[in-house]
Structure 1
Amino acid sequence: MQGRSQLLPLLRTPLLGELLAWLYLHPERDYSGAELARILGVSASTISREADALIVAGLVTGQRRGNLRLLRADVTNRLARPLTELLALTYGPSAVLTELLAALHGVAEAYIYGSWAARYAGEAGPPPHDVDVLIVGDADPDDVADLARTAESRLGREVNAHQVSVSAWHTPGDDPFLTSVRSRPLFRLGDPDEVAAGP
């Protein structure tokens, strides 16, 4: 996706926001460029170019382990705390929800829709105040509610989780809600290989 981020306009691209959010909201571990490329759905060379610039800026550290360069948020940087807060409020939903969904059984697909997805897609407008999540599958409704509460506490904003069956999502018929969701921007969450498909 090209063009300046509408979620955090001081960033030149949405990818930069996603990359920084993933690293700063998971500061306890290292990621290889290939792992980040898979998570974010871009090429390893794209991640490598972005990482080079972030390392020079002192926002990310790169440590060699054999042939791998492992990347991690540089939490010793004076900008780390305010940057983490900014990223949690803007790009945090993608990183936090993907992580939480990986542990939720019965999820076939999951999407962010509504104002956050619209801003991510580049539509101008006010910053989103909440996050709307569509979970497709037969996950336990109590587990979905727990996921929403956990995400709310980590993101500091309301998370609205709506669940539909696989058949309803793929054959929406005259459902006005699904028709509306499908007509607007959607942000797909998670690596399809990582989102739990069942027990």
Structure 2
Amino acid sequence: MQAQSRLLPLLRSPLVGELLAWLFLHPDEQYSVTELAHRLHVSQSTISREVDRLSEADVVREERRGNLRLLRANIDNPLARPLGELLALTYGPVAVLGELLAAVGGVDEAYVYGSWAARYAGEQGPPPRDIDVLIVGAADEDDLADAARAAEQRLGREVNVHQVSARAWGSGNDPFLTSVRARPLYPIDLSER
């Protein structure tokens, strides 16, 4: 069994937080169990078990099309708005940053570091006040600033972007990057491209 969520201790596990954040921060979309399993890097049976619980609680709606099980957030549930706000503040980076950064040319890799990554990794401490994002590549600074502002709007907190070249990231000579690597890092999935 996974460790208890440090980002939102009300949840059984970080996976439940990621799953709910993805659904509630994309409320107009439907996703198959297969898509969600791939996106969250777990088995389809794991997603199915979690969705069974969430569907039974009327937090998630499902639609069947043959063997395909399509899922979406139940935005008619009275908990939907406050739950969506909590999820944006806690697991939102998982659901939001990848799609925003995938649209920015020149981003080779991206990571969340700092307090959010530490809480995600299970380290105790106060809730993160901001989101620190490391970009590896040669993206346009204005495009990154636009993506950070869009993320701030959706996540309800400051998003700080720090960009380094692929050469600097690979060299290991920079004291800042050495300290970033020594602490938890959460890789951002850029596969939305």
Distance apart, 1:44 and its partner CA: 1.2
- Give SS of 1:17's match: helix
1:39 match: secondary structure:
helix
The residue number in structure 1 matching 2:90 is 90
Match of 1:181 in 2: 180
Percent of aligned positions that are identical: 69
Counterpart of 2:54?
A: 54
TM-align CA RMSD = 1.2
Unpaired runs of at least 5, structure 2: none
TM-score if structure 1 supplies the norm length?
0.94
Give the Å deviation of 1:195.
5.1
Please list every run of at least 4 consecutive aligned residues from structure 1 whose deviation after the TM superposition is greater than 3 angstroms: none
Match of residue 130 from structure 1 = 130
Offset of residue 65 of structure 1: 1.4
Instruction: Specify the alignment match of 1:29 in structure 2.
Output: 29
Q: CA deviation at 1:66?
A: 2.3
Find the residue that maps to 1:124 and give its secondary structure: coil
Contact 1:108-1:195 at 8 Å conserved across structures: no
The one-letter amino acid of 1:179's match is T
2:79 is the alignment partner of 1:79: yes
Instruction: Give the residue type in structure 2 aligned to 1:108.
Output: D
Q: Please list every run of 5 or more consecutive structure 1 residues that lacks an aligned counterpart in the other structure.
A: none
Secondary structure at 2:76 match in 1: coil
Q: Which residue of 2 aligns with 1:63?
A: 63
Change (3 A) 1:182 1:195: farther
Pairs within 5 Å for 1:149-188:
149-173=149-173, 175-188=174-187
Residues 133-186 of structure 1 show CA distances to partners (whole Å, capped at 9, x for unaligned) of 00111111111111111111111111000011112112222x111001000000
Kept in 2, the 8 Å contact 1:130–1:160? The answer is yes
**CA separation of 1:66/1:85 partners in 2, compared to 1, >3 Å: closer, same or farther?**
same
Amino acid at match of 1:96: V
TM-score, structure 2 length as denominator?
0.97
* Residue-pair matches, total: 193
Distance in 2 between the 1:186 and 1:195 partners? Answer: 20
Deviation for aligned residue 1:27: 0.3
AA aligned opposite 2:177: L
Amino acid at match of 2:178: T
Which secondary structure does the structure 2 equivalent of 1:159 belong to? Answer: strand
Q: Is the 8 A contact 1:111 1:188 kept in 2?
A: yes
- CA positional deviation for 1:45: 1.2
